[in-house]
Structure 1
């Protein structure tokens, strides 16, 4: 495979879009906001660690997320924490959490609220 074949097509998003128009979307976002990285006093949603919230017509929730660093000490636990926060929501059938490091997380992915909380604004 050539290097050109691996490059995303121009206009292809690096992060898969979320199901923002699904009725469960806002409640899933709020559930994600209850999960915190133990080393940073900001929830993982506002940190920008949740890349995609995909919700099927059958109310299956698929989360694509990352960590601030691949060597994060809670890397093995964080997906379970996210699933445990979402699973109790009424209407959610099943939750899967996928970890990715592509694209790599950067501080530019944080919400304005997170930047303010951490003193970057």
Structure 2
């Protein structure tokens, strides 16, 4: 799946595994390793980076529509299945399995809140507790932010909080059967 390209413009990317933001300049040669969940994992002469799908044009790829087509439930509440669907679009840039099938998402719940940005109208906050495959994973903040930004695309969601926890510690038994098949574990 690896494709060699040259960036057509400057873009901001997330360095792997540190999670630091860095500008990749126009003309940088890259090798695309992974295109999952609307983002790209690319290699340069100076390291690995995650590139947001909104910058796909700089890689010579088509920018995909990120609109979530889901109806809200009674009272304007977001559809929980749409939220889980968005979480299934979040990937660790080094593992080709989404965070739900990896067993990294421990809980997701909805909380009715007042949307102050919308004149105090009722809104809904999504609270997610998740973990990482290893406590030393420097991509934790970037993965959590990716999850948060994807959740905010769901109709009816006005806020999202993605919290990383280490209790209970993650282990391979938490991976779904589908995830294990993708990883060649069964």
TM-score range, shorter chain: 0.7 to 0.9
Please say if 1:55 is aligned against 2:110: yes
Please say if 1:65 is aligned against 2:120: no
TM-score by length of 2: 0.52
Aligned counterpart, 2:164: 99
Shift of 1:73: 2.4
The structure 1 residue matched to 2:144, chosen from 79, 90, 94, is 79
TM-score by length of 1: 0.78
* Structure 1: tracts of 5 or more residues without a match: 1-21
Partner Cα distance (1:85, 1:23) in 2: 13
> Which of the pair is proportionally richer in helix?
1
Aligned counterpart, 1:35: 90
Partner Cα distance (1:30, 1:74) in 2: 21
Runs of 4+ in 1 over 4 A off after TM superposition: none
Q: Per the alignment, in what secondary structure is the counterpart of residue 127 of structure 2?
A: strand
Contact 2:78 2:154 in 1 (8 A): no
Task: Compare 24-33 and 50-59 and name the one that shifted more.
Answer: 50-59
> Which of the pair is proportionally richer in strand?
2
Partner Cα distance (2:79, 2:174) in 1: 23
Deviations 1:30-81 (A, max 9, x none): 0001010111100011101110001124421000000000111202211111
Q: Which has the higher contact order (CA 8 A, sep 6+)?
A: 1
* Structure 2: tracts of 5 or more residues without a match: 1-76, 114-123
Superposed CA RMSD in Å reads 1.3
Instruction: Give the greater-gyration-radius structure (CA).
Output: 2
